[in-house]
Amino acid sequence: MLSNFTLQDILGTTLAFCLFPLVIVFPGYVSGWAFNLFEFRTRLLPTRFAISLLLSISISPILYYIAASQFSMNMALGVTALFALVFIVLLIYEKPAMPQDRLWRVFFWVSLGWVIFATLSLVDLQFTGNQLYFSVISFDHTTRVSIIDAMTRTGVPPINPSYYPGKYVHLTFLYFFWYILGSIIDLIGGSWVDARASLFASVLWCGLALMSLIAFYLRQRNGNHNGNVWKRALIGVASLSITGLDILPVLAGIIQMGRLTFGDIELWNEQITAWVGSLLWVPHHVASFIAGFVGIMLAHSVYGKSRTKQFVALVFSGVSFASALGLSVWVTLVFVLFWGIWMLFLYFQKKQRALLLPMFITGMVALFLAGPFLFGLLSGGSGAGSFPIALAVRSFNVVDPFLQNTSFLWQSLIRLIFLPLNYFLELGFFLFVAFIWLRSHKGDFLKKPYYLAEILLLVVVVVVGSFVRSVVIQNNDLGWRAWLAGQFVLLIWGVDVFSQFTTPVRERLILSPRIKYTLILFAVIGIATTVLDISLLRFGYYFAYGPEAGHSIYSARRTYMTINRFLPEDVIVQYNPLNFINRPSGLYGMHQSAISDRTAYGIPQDEYSAKVEAISKIFTMKNVQNWEPIDALCKVHFIDVILIVTNDPLWESLKSLEKQRIPLYIDNYYAAYTCGDYVVLSRAP
């Protein structure tokens, strides 16, 4: 085993990345070839790879959910082996050709660059021997790693790794399909791949899938476009580095406060997250968007086709929406609204009314496949007892501090007045692109079905993102993630506009020098915002907390590594639950806890608070002379191992306690002891 944790993470992530095609490429390749989706059999190898990746994200989540939840994880592994076998046979049998255009090689190197960049953005960085720093993104990854590990240990749906009231409680109040794929890779990888490595690898592959979606959608939408397919795809992929003008209000805040606040740059406002940030923070939401958009593309692909081909494509479209629902409920809500509005437009257009019945069947297929998951989601309960969404004008942090004591109506009116400025700062370059594109294509809206679908989807996003918010947690997940679909539409329009810079003069749009310079300026500011954001996410923890935090994280990882290596996976490990968002417990602790906030989904708030208060008494004891009161509480709450840190009051009693019981691990920051009925290492007083 490598002694350096950074190298361990890189090795584990690389192995997980190499294993991930088993669940995120092979199923799509086999399905695409078997049903000739998107004319799969006529495609060259790189295009087949892109289609396979997109179809897998649309098929694998619901497929593996059904296999694992209705049967077992062994069944899911059997399905994986079958897809791998068929894939190898097809590849050997057909030997698909490579394209002659060399630009696809540039696309390959760009993809490799993303893999390297994302890996280095996610892994722990170890400095000067015993200082270790995770990224700011680990704030969310704490939950995701815990769920993947719980699935690996307990199956699908997983037990709640943060709640044990004397029996295992299944975790259903959560969209968890993305983590099933990571768990499959965790199982296959054995001791070489853990839940963190599989999560990191899923981020890398989600980024590749987003690039593939851009490239393939542009090809489907615009045709070969005079042989510039790969060039337009590269423009689209490069546009992923552009975000809004967030750096401007952030710099204004720095000037006002005299210092830089380390963390996510998006937190200055109700965010429209940069693409790079979304991929690193929430790959499951991005995957849901990809699955939903593939569902739309499949519906588009049936124009002029036979009824049989329409039926097959639309059934797979329903499968895509079923996967999207289990990947992100909020993103799928946007697609459901869009699907209904699109059907209305087709009805009034009359020419495409024949598609209404197949589109209705698509919805039924999605509902049928996702039914068990949806039932578990609804029956799980949030503990809040309120409707999960509410009407509200999108908040704007520039004016909201002045509206705290005003009425809801007045607050909504002021936010509505400032909504254009809000979107100007959040979208920047892409808002400017939208005006240019809409003005130059206003005569094509009804002539080209792709354009009509894009406009309808963007309208749905604007309405949902502006006037509806989720209230399950403090963060407005609906308002944040709904914009993924809108951002994609604007990115595609950006490719249309940017491509004018390299097309012959007679084919260009009329863009004045002022418009061109403004576009370039906004693009540069957008890229600078992305660079600053990823820098803060990667190094923010180091600069904000300094060497002492690095020593503590290093100690935490060594502690959990010891527990994971030497104790059975069914022991219950508990830290002080008063420590809000204890990142090491989720990132490194691959065991059950009696109570924790990292996955406290579906637990009634009063029950959660009572449990935290009761268990925290273990760690807040003072002047403890023996293990008797600690063991008594451990027995009551079924705890096998406790982790004590320097800021726990119990730490001051360790000099007496360590004479009576040998620690599993101890240093200047962390100590781990068995307790209760699981005292396996002891020493006479």
At 365, which helix (H) or strand (E)? helix 356-380
Average pLDDT of the segment spanning 205-212: 97
User: Which of the residue ranges 192-206, 264-278, 358-372, 449-463 has the most confident prediction, judged by mean pLDDT?
Assistant: 192-206
Please check whether residues 252 and 341 belong to one and the same domain.
yes
Residue 333 lies in domain: 5-137+170-219+230-257+271-376+428-535
Residue 508's pLDDT is: 52
Helix 177-189 and helix 138-154: axis angle, to 10°? 70
Chain mean pLDDT for the chain: 88
What residues contact residue 676 under an 8 Å CB cut-off, 6+ apart?
A: 631, 634, 635, 638, 639, 640
Please check whether residues 364 and 468 belong to one and the same domain.
yes
In this predicted structure, which of 103-112, 212-221, 463-472, 514-523 has the lowest mean pLDDT? 103-112
Domain edge (last residue) among 535, 559, 579: 535
Q: Is the pLDDT higher at 604 or at 11? A: 11
Q: Is the pLDDT of residue 104 over 80?
A: no
Q: Does 439 fall in a domain?
A: yes
pLDDT band at 684 (very low <50, low <70, confident <90, very high): very low
Q: Does 423 fall in a domain?
A: no
The tens digit of pLDDT for each residue in 63-72 reads: 999 999 999 9
Please check whether residues 282 and 209 belong to one and the same domain.
yes
Residue 451's pLDDT is: 87
Please check whether residues 489 and 633 belong to one and the same domain.
no
Average pLDDT of the segment spanning 129-149: 91
Q: Is the pLDDT of residue 439 over 90?
A: no
Please check whether residues 473 and 590 belong to one and the same domain.
no
The tens digit of pLDDT for each residue in 623-648 reads: 999 999 999 999 999 999 999 999 99
Please check whether residues 81 and 128 belong to one and the same domain.
yes
pLDDT band at 2 (very low <50, low <70, confident <90, very high): low
Q: Does 547 fall in a domain?
A: no
Percent of the chain with pLDDT over 70: 93
Name the token pair of 476.
């407005």
Q: How many domains does the chain have?
A: 2
The tens digit of pLDDT for each residue in 538-578 reads: 888 777 777 788 999 999 999 999 999 999 989 999 999 98
Please check whether residues 297 and 348 belong to one and the same domain.
yes
Q: Is the pLDDT of residue 263 over 80?
A: no
Q: Is the pLDDT of residue 48 over 70?
A: yes
What residues contact residue 144 under an 8 Å CB cut-off, 6+ apart?
A: 179, 199, 284
pLDDT band at 384 (very low <50, low <70, confident <90, very high): very low
Give the torsion through C-alpha atoms of 52, 57, 62, 66, to 10 deg: 60
Q: Does 362 fall in a domain?
A: yes
Please check whether residues 357 and 236 belong to one and the same domain.
yes
pLDDT band at 87 (very low <50, low <70, confident <90, very high): very high
Please check whether residues 531 and 572 belong to one and the same domain.
no
Q: Is the pLDDT of residue 681 over 60?
A: no
Percent of the chain with pLDDT over 90: 60
Average pLDDT of the segment spanning 170-181: 90
Q: Does 153 fall in a domain?
A: no
The tens digit of pLDDT for each residue in 12-37 reads: 999 999 999 999 999 999 999 999 99
Q: Is the pLDDT higher at 474 or at 120? A: 120
The tens digit of pLDDT for each residue in 365-376 reads: 888 998 888 887
Average pLDDT of the segment spanning 579-587: 85
Q: Is the pLDDT of residue 434 over 50?
A: yes
- Report the half-sphere exposure of 23 (CA within 13 A, side-chain side): 32
What backbone torsions phi and psi does residue 162 show, to the nearest 5 degrees? -115, 15
| Residue 258 per-residue DSSP state | S
Contact 264, 286 (CB under 8 A): no
Q: Does 444 fall in a domain?
A: yes
Please check whether residues 473 and 343 belong to one and the same domain.
yes
Q: Is the pLDDT of residue 680 over 70?
A: no
Domain edge (last residue) among 535, 557, 590: 535
Q: Is the pLDDT higher at 207 or at 504? A: 207
Contact 126, 553 (CB under 8 A): no
Residues 314-325: b if buried by 16+ CB within 10 A, e if exposed: bbbbbbbbbbbb
In this predicted structure, which of 213-222, 294-303, 585-594 has the lowest mean pLDDT? 294-303
Residue 302's pLDDT is: 73
Q: Does 112 fall in a domain?
A: yes
Domain edge (last residue) among 492, 512, 535: 535
Q: Is the pLDDT of residue 303 over 80?
A: no
Contact 490, 427 (CB under 8 A): yes
Residue 385's pLDDT is: 52
Measure Cα distances from 199 to 20, 178, 283, 419 in Å. 10, 9, 9, 36
Residue 504's pLDDT is: 52
Q: Does 456 fall in a domain?
A: yes
Please check whether residues 489 and 362 belong to one and the same domain.
yes
pLDDT band at 503 (very low <50, low <70, confident <90, very high): low
- Report the half-sphere exposure of 489 (CA within 13 A, side-chain side): 25
Measure Cα distances from 181 to 82, 178, 296, 592 in Å. 16, 6, 23, 21
Q: Is the pLDDT higher at 480 or at 306? A: 480
In this predicted structure, which of 140-149, 218-227, 497-506, 540-549 has the lowest mean pLDDT? 497-506
625 conformational bin, left if phi > 0, alpha if psi -120 to 50, beta if neither = alpha
What residues contact residue 415 under an 8 Å CB cut-off, 6+ apart?
A: 393, 394, 395, 396, 399, 400, 403, 422
In this predicted structure, which of 292-301, 352-361, 600-609 has the lowest mean pLDDT? 352-361
Please check whether residues 346 and 296 belong to one and the same domain.
yes
Predicted TM-score (pTM) of this structure: 0.94
Pairing mode, if any, of strands 573-574 and 641-645? parallel
